[in-house]
Amino acid sequence: MRLVFAGTPEVAVPSLSAIAESRHELVGVVTRPDARAGRGRRVLRSPAASWADEHGIEVRTPRRPSDEEFLAWLRDTAPDCVPVVAYGALVPQAALEIPAHGWVNLHFSLLPAWRGAAPVQHAVLHGDEVTGASVFELEKGMDTGPVYGSLTERVRPTDTSGDLLDRLATAGAGLLVAVLDAIEDGTAHAVPQPTDGVSLAPKVTVEDARVRWDDPAFAVDRRVRACTPAPGAWTTFRDERIKVLPVALGEFDVALAPGELAVHRAEVLVGTASSAVRLGQVQPAGKKPMAATDWARGARVAAGDRFA
């Protein structure tokens, strides 16, 4: 089939690469416009656009996929199908109707669980033991279309959302290509999603990523892992923000109030609503990540000091 791929971030690249190596013809890439990022606020291409540039594939970056100029280009390009991975914009009905086989979306959850922008982060945050990826037919509703196929993936006890998303992006690329093959062969069958088991996964905000030390230790651990690497779990110490990287759970023989710090020679412990957790790395504002023990020495953490 002739394919136009729609995707934006790094997790879209494994699927983009797999499609380019498949039996199908990749004739274009649609991605979000170049954006300013980083400390210098430089204008950067999306990872999907950068990949397409390197491989000589035409790139389109409409501000809105409803723009008439983009719709005209899509009609002229005449793709048989548009595979989608984390494109980042709502696709209007006018665009959905152009390819004969529609837009086919790889979503990183077992639908109808975790419909929305942040399925992997919510799976980690809520302690799911198993998650997965689904390929479904894109329609006007938010991740509501019939499902062509899915795969499962165990959530490991120490997984960050970044770890889990990397594995799902790689495995999901193979699933997406298999569905595209089946669509061309006429053997694909999309099954409507059940009405039971629906859960929503809205974008995780910076405020959502603030560590609640008055939560139990297991909930602190999940929040930190869910928000790593983005948007980044954080807390405040002496009115300054500090990023918290994954912590360790255990049976620590110390009684600490929520947020209270205890510095030992080889570890830094923090109290929660249940047992303490051990800090791994932290990242003060404007600095690189460092071992919690190095940070505590430099900050001169004293008895009774605590995170807010």
Which is it for strands 240-244 and 234-237: parallel, antiparallel or unpaired? antiparallel
pLDDT at 228: 98
pLDDT at 42: 76
**Which pair of structure tokens corresponds to residue 125?**
């945050």
Give the residue from 204, 258, 249, 247 showing the smallest Cα distance to 224.
Answer: 247
Higher local confidence (pLDDT), 303 or 40 = 303
Q: Which residues pair with 28 in a beta bridge?
A: 4
What domains are there in the chain, each with its CATH number? 2-185 (3.40.50.170), 206-299 (3.10.25.10)
Q: Pairing between strand 59-60 and 281-284? A: unpaired
Q: Which residues contact 72 (CB under 8 A, 6 or more apart)?
A: none
Contact 51, 19 (CB under 8 A): no
Q: Is residue 136 within 8 Å of 190, Cβ to Cβ?
A: yes
Q: What pLDDT is attached to residue 210?
A: 98
Tokens, residue 234: 């954080």
Predicted pLDDT of residue 296: 96
pLDDT for res 80: 98
Residue 52, C-beta contacts closer than 8 angstroms, at least 6 positions apart: 16, 29, 31, 58, 59
Q: Please, which pLDDT band fits residue 265 given cuts at 50, 70 and 90?
A: confident
Residues facing residue 137 across a β-bridge: 104
pLDDT > 90 in the chain, percent: 93
Q: Is the peptide bond before 112 cis (omega within 30 degrees of 0)?
A: yes
pLDDT digits (tens, 9 = 90+) for 105-129: 999 999 999 999 999 999 999 999 9
Residue 253 has what pLDDT?
84
Condensed to tens digits (0 to 9), the pLDDT of residues 38-87 reads 666 677 899 999 999 999 999 999 999 999 999 999 999 999 999 999 99
Binding residues for (6S)-5,6,7,8-tetrahydrofolate: 109-112
Residues flagged as binding site: 109-112
Position 299 scores a pLDDT of: 94
Beta strands in 40-188 (DSSP E): 42-44, 59-60, 82-85, 103-107, 130-137, 147-154
Residue range 137-145: average pLDDT? 94
State the amino acid at position 197 in one-letter form.
Answer: G
Asked whether the beta carbons of 179 and 224 are under 8 A apart, the reply is: no
CA angle 130/133/135 to nearest 5° reads 150
Is residue 267 scored above 80 in pLDDT? yes
pLDDT tens column, 180-225: 999 999 999 999 999 999 999 999 999 999 999 999 999 999 999 9
